[in-house]
Amino acid sequence: MDARVMFFLAAIVVFVATLSIVAAYYYRRASRTSARSWEQLLERLTLVDRDSVAQIALAYVDESGQRRNDDGDAGLEPSQIWSLIGGLEGLEALESNCLVLIDMAFYVQRWYPEAIVLAEELRLNAREIEWHVERLRGAAKGGNLELSFADYAQPAIAKYYLMTRCVLLLYKRGNFPMFTDLQGAI
């Protein structure tokens, strides 16, 4: 056989294997999420101070998610952010809540198939938050947490805030009865 044919066949095998892995991941995630009840999803949420999250986030971004460069930028000090969010533990709580928000988007997918797009967007946002929190964990181990906190904490909190707004909007648009419970939980 020609080398080009071998490369082509190898590429096809890799492509099919990748598609199979992605399909298996989403099937497993959807079946795992659908097996959970709404109450179980709500129980997985870690309690965070919504007002503090909103204050920190809205000092960094506006309601549309655009970075503030105007007079509305409150310019919170790192020590203020630290006390409002509860330090690294508070950020880790937000990080774990991100996974629940993704599961909530998958949960509503049963009745609202378009939610898969939002679930994927939430997953990407959660990866970004995870990246920020991981940088802060590394800075804490290296003794540079104070210097790094301002650079990583506020963007992570803003991203989390926007994620909660997206999930709330999804449930509101779908006119789901769980919207009231969700609004009180996040």
Does residue 6 register a pLDDT over 60? Answer: yes
Domain spans, the chain: 1-35, 37-185
Alpha carbon distance, N-terminus to C-terminus of the chain? 60
- Local structure of 117: helix, strand or coil: helix
Per-residue pLDDT of 95-145, as tens digits, reads 999 999 999 998 888 888 888 888 899 999 999 999 999 999 999 898 888
CB 65 within 8 A of CB 162: yes
- Local structure of 134: helix, strand or coil: helix
Measured in degrees and rounded to the nearest 5, phi and psi for residue 177 equal -65, -15
* pTM greater than 0.85 (yes/no): no
Q: What is the DSSP letter of 61?
A: B
- Say what angle helices 115-142 and 87-108 make with each other, to 10 degrees: 160
- Local structure of 82: helix, strand or coil: helix
Residue 58 has what pLDDT?
Answer: 92
* 70, 94, 149 from 49: Cα distances, Å: 26, 10, 19
- Residue 15, judged by CB atoms within 10 A of its CB (0-12, 13-18, 19+), counts as exposed
